[in-house]
Structure 1
Amino acid sequence: MVFKLFLQCCTLPNCHFPFSLLVHKKEGKGVKRQIFKIFLGLAACLFLSSCGFKDIDKRIFVQAIGIDHSDNEKEPYKVILKIAVPSGALKESGTKYAYISKQGSSLSEAIRFLKSHTDKELDFGHAKVIVLGDSVLEHSLHDVLDFFFRRRDIQMISWVAVGKPSAEKVLKVHPKTEMSGTFALSNFFSDNGVESPYIVSSFLFDARRRIVESGFDPILPIIQTKGDKHKLMVNQSVVFSGVKNTKTLQLSSMQTKYYNLLANNIDKMDIKVGKGQKEFTFSVDSAKVKYKIITSGKKPVLKMDILVGGIIEESKFDMSPKDLNKYSRRAAKHTKKEALKLLTLFQDKDVDPLGFGLRYKATRLSNGKRIEEWKNLYPDLTFDVSVDAKIMSTGTIE
């Protein structure tokens, strides 16, 4: 009835509504057809559903996700969620967290069950760190992370790390330096907080790329805590390899530092040169690494050029600015030795976190067998490393 009255008004001579023009210009079946289409469109709007948005007071934000391996083979995964507890006062010092955990046969099952542990909707949009317990690394890395790759509300820019002795113990550490509104774990990897050559950062999207892509093995940082509920350490890393991407090689602090140098992921690092009274520390401010794989000769060769520059940061003897070239040669020799040791270690353990295999595959015409060629070539590869170190100053003030 209302619609009929509306059409009658539109057909009045003094009506300026667009429908009146339509009616006066077209008559008969054409007019009825146009009116029917408009009515059908308006009727369809009545069946549109509203959005599924929930107010912020109905949500609770997950800051970090931990995964440990339980002793129950039927429910092998233990999921721990670190949840930020909202505070009423902005000036209140420190940050409060709540923890909920559940074992399950799969990660999705455990997380679905954890939703029944809170009175608010779990929001994973702010989950910045995913911590894998050391015990879960015996399983396939792809199987463990598959849930996070697929879930749409998990950000692919979340950082992935390994927790020792377990993910739960790492998540429950409260550093005294953590301030309100900040998250200590993310400060290790974001470069907005600490900057260290001993820290390897791995985004979730990069971990997936390395897992799926051949010729590029995943490497994750290790977060350690040793019984102290207020202290975390991140200065080691672990490399995964094989078809199932299981734990293969753990790198020490020194090896992690030189990996960052070769991967060209550092801004500053120190290189200790010499021993005893002839020892000095070279502070690297800039680094550049280039390499190419040469297969035209009798034996395959990986030629790598490393350029490092900086100043002397510490010394146990008096240094003369006239001998900077001499100190530079010593620093270059030491850097070359450490780089070769790390490259040889990767080769012996058959791991490739630097992506040499991917470079080999990308710089040659595809024949469907390039990665198999690389697997046969890698054990016989010879490393030709040259280092150019430039020390700009002895760092002393006269």
Structure 2
Amino acid sequence: MSCRMNGILVLTVMLISGCVQPKTLEENGIMNIYGVDIAGDDQLKTTAVFYKFGAPGQDPSSLVTGQGKTLSKGQKRMNYKLGFQLQSGAIELELFGKKAAENGLIDYLRAASRHPRASNNRLLAVSDTTAKNLITKLDGLPNINVNQALPNIIDVNSHMNVIPEVTLHNFQKLYYEPGIDPVMPILSYQNERTRLTALALFKGDQLAGQIPVDQAFYINVLHQNIRGLQQEVQLPLQPLKKYLLKEPKSDQTDFYTLFNIKKGEGNIKLVNKQNLHFHTQLNFEVNILELTESVGLQKPAAINAFEQEIEKAIKEQYEQLLSKLQKWNVDPMGYGRTYKTQKRNSPLTESEWRDKFPDVTFDVDVNVDILDQGMTP
């Protein structure tokens, strides 16, 4: 059991013991994973993975479902099935079905926040199907601890800067701030494994679109410095042909490079307030890890040419992503937040920025410095 999970269980024991009517661990189930789905007839389906102690020789981790018009009713139905009370103060991950995310999540998140023992650090994610489907499939696999497996996927990728950290606190913080939209990781069940496959983009509290997980760093780099992230880009062969150490295949037009970002940072500036024109600067210091073609990078001219091609590739991907975001009218980068700092006459409202963002213009500058050339094939 992870240190984080041990800490949560200890805290829950202390909280339970401090109640007016104390209950022992054997009289409670401690929910760790909580799923929310939309069912028929305006019903909510809840799925919980919980710990139950006091059953010698049995796995203390179990799964239960409930259904009701509200989350509270769904939890009561789960309690009825079990014959004991589930405690929700230690929930580590709240997982939403895709339909629930499309309909809007803020009512569920407000309900979670009102719980006196709910942690603001509760992780949030979206299933690409339903929360129940993802949880039950993973729970049915041998030698898999669902209580650890699902939160660990998000924790590891957040710490590696693959995705932004998404907790109950920071999702709501961005939701209530005009000029920026929240995101969530999307989890999928593939080949008997749960994987992080995409990043969900929200317009307010509603799922509006998604991007591949390898593009999430374009959002992340504008909110924090990135270190240690590996990224792959496709490059054209022609501009680097004179630096190749051997002839490529006759029909080959491009190749791939994998690099490690030693330091990545970005910023947004409003350069023309009247015309709403922004400048985006992205800076990366990288080490080359792999090349699918033998490119000689010993000479400064070759390194400079290689840096320029990576810069062009990143710029093109970023501009394509911005075009999608404007089409969906979602702003996870926070261009509206930058505009808000220079809007002095009146506060920026969400509806005002929704009207403006699709027509905003940008220029993007990317600077890549190769620190180490790595190995060629």
Task: With the length of structure 2 as denominator, give the TM-score of the two structures.
Answer: 0.79
Partner of residue 34 from structure 2, selected from 57, 65, 71:
65
> Which residue in the other structure is 2:131 paired with?
167
> Which residue in the other structure is 1:212 paired with?
176
Q: How much identity, in percent, do the aligned residues show?
A: 20
Give 5+ residue unaligned stretches, structure 1: 1-48
Task: Verify the 8 A CA contact 2:37 2:45 in the aligned structure 1.
Answer: yes
Paired with 1:239 and 1:177, the residues of 2 have a C-alpha distance of 33
Paired with 2:369 and 2:354, the residues of 1 have a C-alpha distance of 36
Paired with 2:345 and 2:124, the residues of 1 have a C-alpha distance of 32
Paired with 2:279 and 2:186, the residues of 1 have a C-alpha distance of 30
Task: Verify the 8 A CA contact 2:286 2:369 in the aligned structure 1.
Answer: yes
SS in structure 1 at match of 2:193:
coil
Task: Verify the 8 A CA contact 1:281 1:312 in the aligned structure 2.
Answer: yes
1:385 is the counterpart of 2:364: yes
Q: How does 1:142-221 map to 2 (within 5 A)?
A: 142-172=106-136, 173-174=138-139, 178=144, 183-191=148-156, 198-221=162-185
Paired with 2:161 and 2:59, the residues of 1 have a C-alpha distance of 28
Give 5+ residue unaligned stretches, structure 2: 1-17, 237-251
Paired with 1:265 and 1:350, the residues of 2 have a C-alpha distance of 25
Shift of 1:108: 1.3
Deviates more, 1:77-86 or 1:268-277: 268-277
Shift of 1:146: 2.6
Task: Verify the 8 A CA contact 1:319 1:394 in the aligned structure 2.
Answer: no
Shift of 1:64: 0.7
Choose between structure 1 and 2: higher strand proportion: 2
> Which residue in the other structure is 1:9 paired with?
none
Partner of residue 240 from structure 1, selected from 167, 188, 202:
202
Deviates more, 1:304-313 or 1:256-265: 256-265
Task: Verify the 8 A CA contact 2:158 2:164 in the aligned structure 1.
Answer: no
SS in structure 2 at match of 1:236:
strand
Report the CA distance shift for 1:318/1:250 in structure 2 as closer, same or farther (over 3 A): closer
State the one-letter code of the partner of 2:45: K
Report the CA distance shift for 1:201/1:169 in structure 2 as closer, same or farther (over 3 A): farther
Task: Verify the 8 A CA contact 2:268 2:335 in the aligned structure 1.
Answer: no
State the one-letter code of the partner of 1:318: V
Q: Report how many aligned residue pairs link the two structures.
A: 337
Q: How does 1:1-398 map to 2 (within 5 A)?
A: 51-73=20-42, 76-86=43-53, 97-172=61-136, 173-174=138-139, 178=144, 183-191=148-156, 198-226=162-190, 230-241=192-203, 245-264=205-224, 266-267=226-227, 268-275=229-236, 276=252, 278-296=255-273, 299-315=275-291, 316-322=293-299, 323-368=302-347, 373-396=352-375
State the one-letter code of the partner of 2:267: K
> Which residue in the other structure is 1:40 paired with?
none
Shift of 1:85: 4.1
Higher relative contact order (CA 8 A, sep 6+): 2
Task: Verify the 8 A CA contact 1:198 1:234 in the aligned structure 2.
Answer: no
Deviates more, 1:76-85 or 1:360-369: 360-369
> Which residue in the other structure is 2:3 paired with?
none
Task: With the length of structure 1 as denominator, give the TM-score of the two structures.
Answer: 0.75
SS in structure 2 at match of 1:205:
helix
